Amino acid sequence: MQSRGSSHRLSSMGNRSRIPALLISMFATFASIYVAGRLWQDAENRVYLIKELDRITGQGQSAISVDDTLKIIACREQHKKLDALETELSAARQEGFVSKPLIETNGTYSRRRPLVVIGILTKFGRQKNRDAIRKAWMGSGSSLKKIEDGKGIIVRFVIGRSENRGDNLDKDIDRENRLTNDFIILDNHVETNDAFPKKAKLFFAYAADKWDAEFYAKVNDDVYVNIDALGSTLAAHLDKPRVYLGCMKSGEVFSELNHKWYEPEWWKFGDKKSYFRHASGEMYVISRALAKFISINRSILRTYAHDDVSAGSWFIGLDVKHVDEAKFCCSSWSTGAICAGV
């Protein structure tokens, strides 16, 4: 009985040992077939390249190596892409201020980079302001899409969520957005009276992550914008990688607690009487590099009592070109102005 049990165990062990060996053998066979196939494909490609070179040069025997041939083909592809880029650049100049610098990797079509993404910072209970803006300069539906496609200008209202999430305030915005589809809703931002600077920061971060535009603009929801004037002005600054445009000012720092423009951190601002130079908050524009900077550093960028002062503080220590453009002074109502406050 013991002998039979021993024989049975030995037989089972033998069967188990043969199974892994069989699997290894099958794997080695498949691997050999795969490698041989790749080598054969590579050989076929090389033969094809040699024949093509012989056909083009008219020689009976290839004058240069296959590696050199591959380099020649790569150079020709690069020349094709350069020609396509020159064609796109020429078309962009003729069309106006829409930038088209990007060519897809297959070289078959171009991808348009928007000129500017405009965020109109709005609040709950301001639908009349939004409707007036849609009617006056922003457009809606097909007209909004036409501005995006024709001028490369994307416009959206920007709002956060209610402190009582899911209440009627949130529902009203969701309902309006279903009809107009022209909102950026910042789900991680709570709408409060003192949270406007944070909302501006989150808008720039969100827009930079979603759209690869040349510029990003912040606008209040009581400001009217001249789209064509904005486009032509920004086109003149496409050569500046880090630019901050607006109606530059300093402004007084108010340390009185009950003042409308009270600054809780008034003691940080030098003589405690005036802010550093920054663009007026009604409307200002930053270039793509600065928007990316805000996006990357959003968690550590300090905000103050006002969004325009906050934005100005983010760029103080950077190599940024400040452009004081009178056309961005929305309260002046000057001829050729880009914006006008109401």
Which among 86, 119, 113 is positioned nearest to 98, based on CA atoms?
113
Task: Please report the pLDDT score of residue 258 as a whole number.
Answer: 79
Which among 273, 238, 271, 235 is positioned nearest to 252, based on CA atoms?
273
Q: What percent of the chain has pLDDT over 70?
A: 64
pLDDT averaged over every residue in the chain: 79
* CA distance linking residue 299 with residue 3, whole number of Å: 76
* CA distance linking residue 331 with residue 52, whole number of Å: 68
* CA distance linking residue 217 with residue 206, whole number of Å: 13
Task: Please report the pLDDT score of residue 301 as a whole number.
Answer: 96
Pairing status of strand 243-249 against strand 321-324: parallel
Burial classification of residue 20, based on how many CB atoms lie within 10 Å of its CB (0-12 exposed, 13-18 middle, 19 or more buried): exposed
Architecture of domain 116-341 in this structure? Alpha-Beta Complex (3.90)
Q: What is the pTM of this model?
A: 0.66
- Return the SS3 of 192: coil
- Which of the residues in the chain have pLDDT under 50? 1-13, 16-17, 35, 39, 60, 62, 95-110
Task: Please report the pLDDT score of residue 278 as a whole number.
Answer: 82
Q: pLDDT by residue (tens digit) across 48-99?
A: 666 665 666 555 454 556 566 666 666 666 667 677 766 766 655 554 444 4
Domain locations along the chain: 116-341
